[in-house]
Copies of this chain bind each other. A is one copy, B any other.
Amino acid sequence: MGRRSTHTPEELRELILRAARDIIERGGLSGLSAREVARRIGYSPGTLYNIFENLDDLVLHVEGRLLEELEQELTALPREESAEALLRRLARTYLAYTHRQPKLWNLLFEHHLPPSRPVPAWYQQRIEALLTRIEEALAPIMGDRDAAALKRSARVLWAGVHGITSLSTTDKLSTITTEAAQLLVDDLVSTYILGLSQRPAAAPLATSPHAALEAGELRDESSST
């Protein structure tokens, strides 16, 4: 017993993260256990708890790495001719990344912290960073619409692409192949952008045809429930 110090704390951290990632990539989150990680790296289970708070904390850091990697891929994308082409490329890159390691990516959505402790700030920031990539790509299309609309559209697209990848990697959309999923992603991006381009740009929002339509429908909604 006692110390071994064959690895620095940083090395140990790396070893643990890599082992955990490997286990999840092969067998999903349910295949992961602290004891299994310990076995793989040749340390006792207790050692993990010197470095990570608990298993949730460890998993959260594996997720963080994934978000980081994806963001790098999105950032490294070549220039495109049009804003629409760029958005489509972003969506496809996301899709390709998730299909390259489906179980790992699913981690982001099947792992939940106990409601007692909220998602840490650094994690939220990584997601915000990805959303910012989309907002940047979307801005030229949105023209002078207000910032709230831009944020909203970025989130709609992100969530939509996520929904497609999530349902297709877990085979709950009868989609199965990556090609089929890509068709859906392309359809979403093209059609949504086409819809956006039809919307009135900024202007007195309250009096635009579309705002009036929405207000009317909302009244409908509350009166009939």
Stretch at the interface among A4-12, A15-23, A68-76, A189-197: A189-197
In the complex, A119 has a CB within 8 A of chain B: yes
Of A32-40, A43-51, A132-140, A213-221, the segment with at least 4 beta carbons within 8 Å of chain B is: A213-221
Q: Specify which chain B residues have a CB less than 8 angstroms from the CB of A85 in the assembled complex.
A: 217, 220
A90 CB–B CB distance under 8 Å: no
Interface residue from B174, B175, B190, B198 paired with A128 (Cβ < 8 Å): B174
Q: Is the interface of A mostly helix, strand, loop or mixed?
A: helix
* Shortest Cβ gap from A141 to chain B (Å): 12
Assembly CA distance A170 to B112 (angstroms): 7
* A199 at interface by CB-CB < 8 Å: yes
* Interface size range of chain A in the complex: 35 or more
Q: Choose from B28, B155, B161, B174 the contact partner of A112 (Cβ within 8 Å).
A: B28
Q: Does A146 contact B (CB under 8 A)?
A: no
CB distance from A1 to the nearest CB of B (A): 32
What residues on B are CB-neighbors of A164 within 8 Å?
155-156, 159-160, 163
Contact A190 B195 (CB under 8 A): yes
Partner of A155, one of B78, B127, B175: B175
Residues of the B chain whose Cβ atoms lie less than 8 Å from the Cβ of A153: 187, 191
Q: Are B163 and A184 in contact (CB under 8 A)?
A: no
- With known contacts A128-B174, A162-B163, A195-B193, A188–B156 Cβ distance under 8 A: yes
CA distance in complex: A199, B194 (Å): 9
**Cβ of B187 and Cβ of A152 under 8 Å apart?**
yes
Q: Which residue of chain B has its CB nearest to the CB of A175?
A: B155
Interface string of A159-181 (1 = CB under 8 A from B): 11111101100111111000000
A191–B111 Cα distance when bound, in Å, is 31
* Distance of A224 Cα from B184 Cα, bound (Å): 21
Q: Cβ of A83 < 8 Å from any Cβ of B? A: no
